[in-house]
Structure 1
C-alpha cells in the first residue's frame, strides 16, 4: 500500500450509487447532492502508525483514522455512526461498516498507479456500486 499513500484520486464515474443511497435511507436532497459531487479520496499514514482515509469535496469533507485490522467507531459523511473495520491486502483496502440496526456495507478499494476502483455491496442490496477515481496529477 506504500506506493499509494498521499496520492489523491478524483471520482470520474459511478454506477448504482443513487440506488445504494436510497437503500441506505439517505434523504432525497442529500442523495442528489451526494451523486453530483466529484469527491477526492486520499490515504495517508500518520506518525503513530495509524492511517487516515479522507474524502474531500466542495460540499463536505470526512475522514477516519484507523489501525488496520482493528475495529473502530466511524462517523460516515452522512453523519451516521457505525462500527468499522479496515484491512489491507496488497493493493486492496477493504472497509466494512456496520450500523446500529445491523445494516452492513463493504467497500473494496483497489488502488492502481493511475486510478482507484471502489466496489460497494450491502447486505440485502441486490446491486453492486462501482465508482472509479483517477489519479490527480
Structure 2
C-alpha cells in the first residue's frame, strides 16, 4: 500500500451512487447535496503502525484511524454510527460497515498510480456502485 500513501484522490465520476444513498436512507435534500460533492480521499500511515483514512469535502468530512483487520466504531459522514473493519491487502482497502439494524455495506478501494476506484456493494442493493477518483497533481 506504500506507493499510495499520502496521495489525494478527487472524485471524477459515479455510477449508481444515488441508488446507494436511497438504499441507506439518505433524505432527498442531503442526497442532492451528496451527489454534487467532489470529495477528496487520502490514506496515511501513522507512527504507531495504524492508518488514517480521510474523506474531505466542503460540506462534510470524516476521518478514521484503524488497524488493518480490527473492528472499530465509526460515524459515517451522514451521522450514522456503524461497526467497521478495514483490511489492507496489496493495492486494495476493503471497508466493511455494519449498521445497528444489521445493514452491511462493503466498499473496496483499489489504488492505482493515477486513480482510485471505489466499488460499493450491499446485500439488498441490486446495483454495484462504482466511483472513480483521480490523483490530484
TM-score by length of 1: 0.99
User: Which residue of structure 1 aligns with residue 90 of structure 2?
Assistant: 90
1:20-59 to structure 2, matched below 5 A, reads: 20-59=20-59
User: Which residue of structure 1 aligns with residue 5 of structure 2?
Assistant: 5
User: Which residue of structure 1 aligns with residue 133 of structure 2?
Assistant: 133
Alignment partners' CA distance in 2, 1:96 and 1:51: 16
1:76-115 to structure 2, matched below 5 A, reads: 76-115=76-115
Q: Please give the secondary structure, in 2, of the residue aligned with 1:109.
A: strand
Alignment partners' CA distance in 2, 1:91 and 1:133: 15
Q: Please give the secondary structure, in 2, of the residue aligned with 1:30.
A: helix
TM-score by length of 2: 0.99
Alignment partners' CA distance in 2, 1:61 and 1:88: 22
User: Which residue of structure 2 aligns with residue 60 of structure 1?
Assistant: 60
Q: Please give the secondary structure, in 2, of the residue aligned with 1:20.
A: helix
- State the 4+ residue runs in structure 1 displaced beyond 2 angstroms: none
**Deviation, structure 1 residue 118:** 0.3
Alignment partners' CA distance in 2, 1:93 and 1:56: 18
Query: After the TM superposition, which of the residue ranges 104-113 and 46-55 deviates more from structure 2?
Result: 46-55
